[in-house]
Amino acid sequence: MSEEDFSRSLLLSAGKNTPTVSLNYLLEIAIQQVFHEITILSELLGKKQDNEKKISLVQFAHSTRMLFVKLLALVKWVKTSKKFESCTSICCLLDQQSQLFVQTADTLAKYTTVDLLLARLPMFQGHFPRLPQCIKEAFVKKKNINKRDQARVLHRLNTVIERRIAKLASEFSPRIKQISIKNGLTIVVPGEFEFQVAVFGEAETERWLLLNVNMLVDDYEIGFGVDLIHPSQMLLVHQVLQSRINEAQNPIADAYKFLHYYALSAQLDILFCQLTSLISNGRFRDNVIIERYNETEHFLLLGYWIKKPKMRIAVPGVKPVPQYRLQVSFNPRDPDGGLLIRHFPSATGISNFDIGKGQMRIEHVLAETFIIRCKERLLRIRKNLEAEHPKAYIAQTGDTSPTLTLLLCDDEMSCPEEHLVIAVNMFTGRVICSVTCLNVSQRATLRELEKALYDNYNQDTIKRCLNRLKIMVMIERYRRSVTTLQIRIVSENQMLPCLQKVRPIPKDKICLQFIKEEEYYLIITFTAESFSYLQINIYLLWSTDERTQMIEIQPTNRIFSVSYSRLARRNEANVDNIPPVRPIKGSYRDLTCAIASVEERILLKRLGEQLKNKGIPHDLVNQEDAVGGLVVHIKNAQTLIGAHSADFFGNVGRCCLRIDNRVRTSWPLECCMHNIPLVADVDPNRKNPTSCTWVQDVSISGLNPAAGASDSIGDQILDRLDKYCSMYNIVRKFAVAYDKYYRNYTSIEAFTFHKLLLLYGDERDQLMILSFRPKKTTNERFGLNFGQTTPRRILSKVGPMNMNLENRWNPHGLLTSILKDKYELSFRFRENLIFSRLNREGDLIGLVQYLISTSSTLDCLVHFSRVRYQSYKYLPYMTGNEIQFPLKLKSSLHPVTDTDIRLTFGHLNLAILLLSDGAIGIRDASLAKPQVAGLKEFFNLMSGGQTEEMMDDDEQPSTSTGKHASSSPTHPKSLPPPVVCASPQIGSSKSVPPPTGLSTSPAPTRESKELKATYSTLYVDQATLKRACHFEKNACGLYVSPLDDFLSALVYIHRITYALKSVFTSKAPSMITNCQIEESRPDSVGFLQMFNDLNIFQLTLTFSTILKLSTVRCVLFIDPATMKIRLTLEYSNSLMFWRSIEFCAFRRRIVPE
């Protein structure tokens, strides 16, 4: 290979092996370096001064900026370095060759100056018998000691150490807690130091060799995470200690003294550094000062709880004086002991430093010292307070920090929020007083008390502050107690114009204004004669535009010393009828009772004025011994009510209005009545007295002066008495008839003089509620309502439960709106209007007779027209109509008057007239033409032929005048004469046997009379109506009634006729072809159908024989014998078969006979 080829290969290999560095890698290294520097700064900046912090931040910012500037310059250079890429391989090769030359020169220089320096032979003549030492160590292996010899030598050395320690152990310090002999002697003093020595010979003169020294004094916060003693210092200590050991007679004891002294000096220095850091960082700034620190004398003196001079301007040379001092120094009496702590003034119970781990904290000592000093100060305050106030209850409380609790109001209502809590600030030593219930604006007295307890213990100031706090707590207690009452708190500024017009009162007071009576104020004043006695006075202030008066209410006197009608005039006293008021002892319950009593009497004054203005006679206020409270007795008010109230007031034993302020909206009006005309007789085993007392509430909103005259309580009392009189008169007249006759048909549930509850019906489960409204301007002042109660058989548990009577309601509820009307209609079969007579004459007999007579009839009708639904899904589908809801009510009942009820059943309408004997008159009430065909025949069938027509001129003339009664089955006239014989084999195929179970019956004849629909009124007794409307359970499990089946059949014929007409006349293609309706009446419908080779009976009946037919005639009609729907089929090819079926239209089911 030529030199040119060799150089080219070197260049190519150098270009391939050129070292490269990724830019991502460079950025990652830069970011990690910055993050590392930030972490170090975050740990060290908190322990540096402010100037050092600023310098460190500037240096960090500068270095970081320069680093990323270099990276930016490198990136910009790389962008323009493409033109120099061809020289990269040449530069790399030259660098490699230069590096190899430098490395070779350095290696040769090292051999000549270091490695081969000692290998030079000295300048001599002759032979040198040994190898140089460096060559021997490099090439000749040393002979190793085996493990057995090594263990034997170490064991021998430990034995020597034990023998020598045994001679010196008597002079060791008791602070040495650990001595171990293992490959040498190790001595440990916890929290101070540990060192290790050894000897290498058995001779007594063999010196101790110091192997290791370790100082256990440390503080990570002061040292910023590193050791406090520098390794160079430890090296110096090691050397000095080794020299002392070599010269000492007792090397171990001398080493202990030296290291113990050094450790105490380090501990004291650490305490000084900790205290300096606490003061400089602000935690104890201005609260702890370092008065003196001498490193030579080993003395540290600090003061705490600084008492600053009372000077606004700082004077040079005037230093703050600490109240207490703490001294840390060496113990001269015990050189082997630790640091000594002394307190000035002396204190007991403070522990020494915890140096078990070598980490001493000055804040721990200060914290314990502060707690002891706080307890001392609180104990001194407690002794002074108990000496001044022997009866005061003072307790020492507080778990974390000690406190004193003083009960300002020592009663059963006192709560923790009302206690005075005295504490001491641990940092400053100042006294702190707090009462939780007082707000911020009331803290001036507390600050004054704190100053008195802290500075000079002025007894007069302390006494005045405590009395003032007691008053403030009582005022705050009263403020909270009246928040739920009908009273508001008024400020002293608002009351100032009124208070200037009356005599002066104490300045500590709370002013309360009655919400309902805004001109009345209740003022409560407080005067503290001593700490254990607080005088409370109550004043009632009455202020109007004309004058202002104030009455003092003594606790031992009555609240009012005047009559209720002369409240403000104290001289005209009438205290015989005014009850006393309990004295107030400071409890807010007593205050609420006093406020309630005052409010009662104010309302009583208003009541007296209203009764006097209305002219209602009444007695003076008195208080009953049994019930208690204020009572106003209403005398005979017959002249105000009217002459009709003479009987009522003649039997009234007592009528009074009780003042009950507990209920804010009403007062009870109590009446006692003798000779009650009607008493409750529902329970025959219980005899109710004829004299009773009833209580009803009267609204007191009329006592408000702003209310009108119509809303006054006097008008309410008169209206209530008028109601009682009116109800009493009508019930008294009815009582005579009730005792003689109506007792057998009705029962009295209750009579409360404002309402009568009457039970009627067979089960006494129908309820009539009669009331009176005296304020109605019209004549209809009697109100009527109906309800339902539990049947008597259920209460007496006699007889089975009837399903037809369950889930009922009062049927007269349908007539409530009619019975409450103005009764301007006139009814047949009645000479007088029942309710007009009730409102005008006060006669109840006609109303009760009406309810008794119509109860069973209306019950049957209501039970028949109960809520039942019928599907309308397929009929609109056949007729092509659309409906929104496919269900409709099957029947409904609508009252027109109190004797005329309309029953709607599909397209049918029946008018039901209520007669006097419990029977009814029933007729077709359809508008265009009569629709209910066979109505008379149906009720004849139900009554056994006893139904008759009623002739009435007011009714529309009937289409037929004769009596129609037929018990034999007839056939409609539209049917053809019979063409089949009685034998079942004539009309059947001879090749096919008749189906099992098939029977035939004689076909109906054409001479059968049709059912007619007329407007005639039928007379139906109550028993017939019950049988027609009674529901029974059939074989299919459904409840059916005869009237429901009859009306359903008529409705079905009407609907199928309409459906067939719609289908036959429709131009759309249908499944039914060649079909036409032959005849249509309300009771029947017939149609013809042409068939061609169609298996009919396979679709409709039970036959399976294929018949060749041409025409089929179908007839649906009502059978007069059973009043049920029938179906007849006739065939035109002289082969006829007819069959009678029962069709339930509303159930969509055909049931064979």
How far apart are alpha carbons 1045 and 304 in whole angstroms?
110
In this structure, the answer to whether residues 1019 and 1140 fall within a common structural domain is yes
The 3-state DSSP composition of the chain as helix, strand, coil percent (nearest 5) reads: 35, 20, 40
Of 321-325, 864-868, 1047-1051, the range with the lowest mean pLDDT is 864-868
Flag whether 535 is in a domain: yes
Same domain, 842 and 982: no
End-to-end CA, the chain: 131
State yes or no: pLDDT of 76 exceeds 50.
Answer: yes
**Quick one: pLDDT band at residue 1057, thresholds 50, 70, 90?**
confident
Highest mean pLDDT among 212-216, 1072-1076, 1142-1146: 212-216
**pLDDT level of residue 120 (50, 70, 90 thresholds):** low
Axis crossing angle, helix 251-281 with helix 147-168, rounded to the nearest 10: 80
Residues facing 196 on adjacent strands: 186, 212
Whether 1092 has a pLDDT exceeding 70, the answer reads no
CA–CA gap between residue 791 and residue 796 (Å, rounded) = 9
Considering the domain architecture, whether residues 833 and 885 belong to the same structural domain is answered as no
Within-domain flag for 107: no
What's the rounded Cα separation, in Å, for the pair 181 and 188?
12
Q: Which two tokens stand for residue 1107?
A: 């018949």
Q: Over 90: is that where the pLDDT of 237 sits?
A: yes
Same domain, 605 and 628: no
Residue ending a domain, choose from 614, 634, 655: 614
Closest residue by Cα to residue 671 from 694, 647, 645, 699:
694
For residues 674 and 651, is the Cβ–Cβ distance under 8 A? Answer: yes
Instruction: Judge whether residue 796 has pLDDT over 80.
Output: no
The residues, ordered by sequence, that sit 6+ positions from 788 with a Cβ below 8 Å of its Cβ are 765, 766, 767, 808, 809, 810
Q: What is the pLDDT of residue 1095?
A: 31
How open is the CA angle 140-143-149, to the nearest 5 degrees? 170
The C-alpha atoms of residue 1025 and residue 863 are separated, in whole angstroms, by 12
User: What pLDDT score does 61 carry?
Assistant: 93
Report d(CA 502, CA 517) in Å as an integer.
20
Given this model, what pLDDT does residue 300 score?
92
Q: How much is the pLDDT for 822?
A: 39
Please give the share of the chain, as a percent, with pLDDT higher than 70. Answer: 73
Placement of tokens 């109960």 in the chain = 866
Residue 253 exposed, middle or buried by CB count within 10 Å (0-12, 13-18, 19+): middle
Its sign, for the CA torsion 93, 96, 99, 101, is negative
**Is residue 605 within 8 Å of 612, Cβ to Cβ?**
no
964 lies in some domain: yes
CA angle, residues 706, 709, 713, in degrees to nearest 5: 90
Please answer whether residues 524 and 478 qualify as being in contact, where contact means their C-beta atoms are separated by less than 8 angstroms: yes
β-partners of residue 697 are: 668
Please report the pLDDT score of residue 931 as a whole number: 87
**CA 825 → CA 711, 828, 831, 898, 900, distances in Å?**
36, 10, 12, 10, 12
Q: Are residues 531 and 498 in the same domain?
A: yes
Of residues 428 and 805, which shows the higher confidence score?
428
Strand pairing category for 1084-1090 and 1075-1081: antiparallel
**Is residue 176 classed as helix, strand or coil in its secondary structure?**
coil
Cα separation of 253 and 170, whole Å? 10
Condensed to tens digits (0 to 9), the pLDDT of residues 312-353 reads 555 565 677 888 999 999 988 888 888 888 888 887 766 666
- Using the structure block, give the residue that is written with the tokens 């000749």: 140
CATH number assigned to the domain comprising residue 458: 3.30.457
Ranking 258-262, 489-493, 707-711, 789-793 by mean pLDDT, the lowest is 707-711
Q: Distances from the Cα of 567 to the Cαs of 400, 546, 765, 863, 999, in angstroms?
A: 58, 16, 56, 67, 105
- What 3-state DSSP class applies to 1057? helix
Q: Give how many domains the chain has, as a whole number.
A: 4
Query: pLDDT: is 588 or 680 the higher one?
Result: 680
Q: What is the pTM of this model?
A: 0.53
- Asked if residue 296 is part of any domain, the answer here is no
Tokens of 823: 């009764």
Question: Are 934 and 1048 members of one domain?
Answer: yes
State whether 771 and 749 are in the same domain.
Answer: yes
Q: What is the mean pLDDT of residues 136-154?
A: 83
In this model, does residue 386 exceed pLDDT 70? yes
- Give residue 125's pLDDT: 62
Element (H, E) at 340: strand 340-344
Lowest mean pLDDT among 129-138, 857-866, 1094-1103: 1094-1103
| Structural domain includes residue 1096 | yes
Residue-level pLDDT at 210 = 93
Work out the pLDDT band at 138, boundaries 50, 70, 90.
confident
What is the model's pLDDT at position 57?
92
Mean pLDDT of the chain: 75
Confidence label for 1060 from pLDDT (cuts 50, 70 and 90): confident
Which two structure tokens, joined as six digits, stand for 703? 């006592």
pLDDT of amino acid 806: 54
User: Coil, strand, or helix at residue 901?
Assistant: strand
194 found inside a domain: no
Q: Give the pLDDT band of residue 701 (cuts 50, 70, 90).
A: low
Reading the block at residue 583, the tokens are: 């004295």
Residue 772 has pLDDT above 90, yes or no: no
Statement: residue 430 has pLDDT above 70? yes
Provide the pLDDT confidence category of residue 59 given band limits of 50, 70 and 90: very high
Q: Are residues 860 and 873 in the same domain?
A: no
Structure confidence at residue 1149 (pLDDT): 37
Q: What is the pLDDT of residue 579?
A: 39
Give tens-digit pLDDT for 1068-1090: 444 455 566 666 677 666 655 54
Rg (CA), the chain: 61
Q: What is the DSSP letter of 704?
A: S
Q: Which of 814, 848, 864 is the last residue of a domain?
A: 864
- Whether pLDDT at 819 is above 80: no
In a domain, 407, yes or no: yes
Please tell me the distance from the alpha carbon of residue 1108 to that of residue 1101, in angstroms, as a whole number: 16
Stretch 593-618: mean pLDDT: 79
- Write phi, then psi, for 755 (nearest 5 degrees): -160, 140
Provide the domain limits for residue 824.
Answer: 622-864
Write out pLDDT tens, residues 624-650.
Answer: 666 667 788 888 777 777 767 778 888
pLDDT at residue 448 greater than cutoff 70: yes
Pair 606, 629 in one domain? no
| Confidence (pLDDT) at 628 | 65
**Structural domain includes residue 289:** no
User: What pLDDT shows up at residue 302?
Assistant: 92
% of the chain with per-residue pLDDT over 90: 12
Boundary-marking domain end, from 831, 864, 897: 864
Instruction: Say yes or no to pLDDT of 266 above 50.
Output: yes
Question: 440 and 573: one domain?
Answer: no
Strand residue runs (E) in 509-623:
509-514, 520-530, 533-543, 548-553, 622-623
pLDDT in tens, 555-579: 543 333 222 233 333 333 333 333 3
Is residue 1148 pLDDT above 70, yes or no? no
pLDDT at 260: 92
Q: What is the pLDDT of residues 455-472, one digit of tens each?
A: 877 888 888 888 888 888
Which tens digits make up the pLDDT trace of 10-30?
A: 555 545 556 678 888 889 999
> What is the structure's pLDDT at 582?
38
1126 touches 1116 (CB < 8 A): yes
Same domain, 495 and 434: no
Written as six digits, the tokens of 510 are 């709370």
State mean pLDDT over 594-599. 78
* Residue 977 scores a pLDDT above 70: no
Give yes or no: residues 1015 and 920 share one domain: yes
